């Protein structure tokens, strides 16, 4: 079983991206959770439960986030697909700007 968290950073201003909606989905597209990043751009536990091994997606609402800043984003959403498994915690940071993004498996 696994748990997952995230941290979104807005690289255009070098600050946490607060107010970003993040949806955790199962491989079949079923929604497991939908939460919003806090003032530090974080969500500490997306699932609220241990997840069985499998493929999952995080869907970040980057378009609406940048829209609140008066900026039109090239990517209206960022979808990160990943395999989660084992008795571990997975941290998935997202570095985002209106025209690009980067992600990695954090700790």
Tell me if the pTM is above 0.85: yes
pLDDT at 27: 93
pLDDT at 57: 97
| For the chain, domain boundaries | 2-103
Binding residue per annotation — 105? no
* DSSP-H helix ranges across 15-78: 62-67
List per-residue pLDDT tens for the chain, 107 residues long.
688 999 999 999 999 999 999 999 999 999 999 999 999 999 999 987 789 999 999 999 999 999 999 999 999 999 999 999 887 899 999 999 999 999 999 98
Binding residue per annotation — 7? yes
Number of H-type helices and E-type strands within the chain: 1, 9
Binding residue per annotation — 91? no
Determine the CATH number of domain 2-103: 2.60.40.180
């Amino acid at each position: 079983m696994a748990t997952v968290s995230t941290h979104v950073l807005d690289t255009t201003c070098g600050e946490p991206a607060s107010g970003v909606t993040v949806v955790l989905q199962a491989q079949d597209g079923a929604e497991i959770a939908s939460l919003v990043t806090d003032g530090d751009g974080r969500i500490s536990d997306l699932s609220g439960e241990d997840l069985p091994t499998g493929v999952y997606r995080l869907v970040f609402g980057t378009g609406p986030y940048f829209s609140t800043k008066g900026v039109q984003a090239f990517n209206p959403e960022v979808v990160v697909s990943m395999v989660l498994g084992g008795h571990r915690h997975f941290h998935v940071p997202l570095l985002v700007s209106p025209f690009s993004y980067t992600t990695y498996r954090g700790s």
